[in-house]
Amino acid sequence: PFRSYEFIETSQPRPGVGQVTLNRPKALNALCSPLIAELNQALADFDASPDVRAILLTGSQKAFAAGADIKEMAPLTFSEAYTTSFIESWSSLTTNVKKPIIAAVSGHALGGGCELALMCDVLYCTETANFGQPEIKLGTIPGAGGSQRLTRAIGKARAMELILTGKNFTGREAFEWGVAARTFATWDELLEGSLKTAETIASYSKVAVMAAKEVVNKSQDLPLRDGVEYERRVFHSLFGSNDQKVGMKAFAEKKKAEWTDN
């Protein structure tokens, strides 16, 4: 049922959970354009699949992703980058995918790799994961949202220091600063913990889960008052879903909810 890809692998490791594994080991999962195109395709397939309710995005133990592909970018001119909207397709992850994506980060998550992780809805990592925005060392700056998402996540003081110095930060720091929701001691524990969370999410009503993701993400774009109003509208709209009736009725009857996904 899965397409075959060159730079990623897809699987369904648990019921309701779709997994994308970045798989370009020779380049530490450097995110070349064809890899991003494959990632977008895989995520679009999972988003459309009735069998998938939560998505796990991971790399290898050694590298989540060591950045955009430096060798691909090196010769790009301004006009090429501008006219082809270079990197814009990376945004599909945040604008098109409605189901929650959990990033499981081990090893390097640098530059575009760090930005990719920051685009996901839940970020888990190992304590020793190696995050950073080292673009300054290459004579450039973050280009896939790093200066915006990292700054919102950890505040201006830390983000400015990291982005101006290109200094890396650890998984432990990512957790302490609120970038990562949890850290794990080992790669195996990271994968298992991520799958467990994905399974938990997958056990809930798909309509409610997608609405929850949508409203939390709105908080990153809207002023508080507008965000609260937006949330209330979506909350109201869920009274039109069958699963709200199913969930509340099951509670009253002390039974397990059998979601209908509508």
Shortest distance, position 93 Cβ to ligand HXC, whole Å: 12
CA angle 50, 198, 3 (to 5 degrees): 50
Q: Is 55 in the site for ligand HXC (CB under 6 A)?
A: no
Applying CB under 6 A, the span of 24-32, 169-177, 214-222, 241-249 interacting with ligand HXC comes to 24-32
Q: Is there binding between residue 16 and ligand HXC (CB under 6 A)?
A: no
Q: Is 122 in the site for ligand HXC (CB under 6 A)?
A: no
Site string for ligand HXC, 123-162 (x = CB under 6 A): -----------xx--x---xxx------------------
Q: Which of 1, 4, 50, 71 binds ligand HXC (CB under 6 A)?
A: 71
117 interacts with ligand HXC by CB under 6 A: no
By the rule CB under 6 A, 59 interacts with ligand HXC = no
| Cβ neighbours of residue 150 closer than 8 Å, sequence gap 6 or more | 114, 118, 133, 142, 159, 162, 163, 179
Smallest distance, ligand HXC to C-beta of residue 83, A: 17
List the catalytic residue out of 16, 112, 145, 171.
112
Place of tokens 């991520």: 194
Is 171 among the residues known to form the active site? no
Residues 76-95 that bind ligand HXC (CB under 6 A): 87
153 is known as an active-site residue: no
CB of 29 to ligand HXC, least distance (A): 8
Q: Is 112 in the site for ligand HXC (CB under 6 A)?
A: yes
Active site residue 18: no
User: Does the active-site annotation cover 6?
Assistant: no
User: Of 249, 251, 256, 244, which Cα lies nearest the Cα of 207?
Assistant: 244
Which sequence positions are flagged as catalytic?
68, 112, 115, 135
* Residues at the contact surface with ligand HXC, assessed by CB under 6 A: 27-28, 30, 66-71, 87, 108, 110-112, 115, 134-135, 138, 142-144
